[in-house]
């Protein structure tokens, strides 16, 4: 697994979008793959919750014939949590503060998701 490449993608996204506070990549079953989170965030717990939330959103999209799920965003009084599908086997979660531009986040995240998917597929192809 190229953890450095994943870390570079997460840091690059944070540099592109003002307001990103934390990021993590997880398998769809909720196992943490990589994280760039503050000490106040439990990255393993975040990965598990994100996988559960994305799983429900994915099933909702299928049940309502909306097609393949791409993303879901949860808004709170102190910011948002955006969950992105990385193919069928992984996800990325991005936490943002109150000032984050979510449209900008979605635009910047699309190419990063492609690169993260490629990194994860490379790991799978090697059997690592």
pTM value is 0.89
User: How far lies 7's CA from each of 41, 76, 89, 116, 122, in Å?
Assistant: 17, 26, 19, 10, 16
Yes or no: say if 14 and 92 are a contact pair by the CB < 8 Å rule: no
Does the pLDDT of residue 126 top 80, yes or no?
Answer: no
pLDDT of residue 113: 95
What's the burial of 25, exposed, middle or buried (CB within 10 Å: 0-12/13-18/19+)? buried
How much is the pLDDT for 87? 87
Looking at residue 64, its pLDDT comes to 96
- In this prediction, residue 128 carries a pLDDT of 47
Is 10 a residue whose pLDDT tops 90? yes
* Residue 122 confidence (pLDDT) above 90: no
Phi, psi of 34 (to 5 degrees): -155, 150
Mean pLDDT for the stretch of residues 59-67: 94
């Amino acid at each position: 697994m190229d953890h450095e490449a994943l870390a570079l993608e997460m840091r690059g996204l944070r540099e592109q979008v003002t307001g990103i506070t934390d990021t993590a990549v997880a398998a769809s079953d909720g196992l943490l793959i990589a994280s760039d989170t503050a000490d106040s965030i439990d990255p393993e717990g975040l990965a598990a919750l994100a996988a559960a939330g994305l799983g429900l959103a994915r099933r909702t999209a299928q049940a309502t014939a909306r097609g393949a799920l791409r993303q879901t965003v949860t808004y709170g009084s102190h910011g948002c949590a955006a969950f992105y599908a990385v193919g069928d086997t992984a996800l990325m979660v991005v936490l943002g503060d109150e000032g984050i531009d979510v449209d900008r986040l979605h635009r910047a995240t699309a190419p990063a998701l492609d690169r993260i998917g490629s990194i994860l597929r490379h790991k799978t192809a090697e059997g690592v």
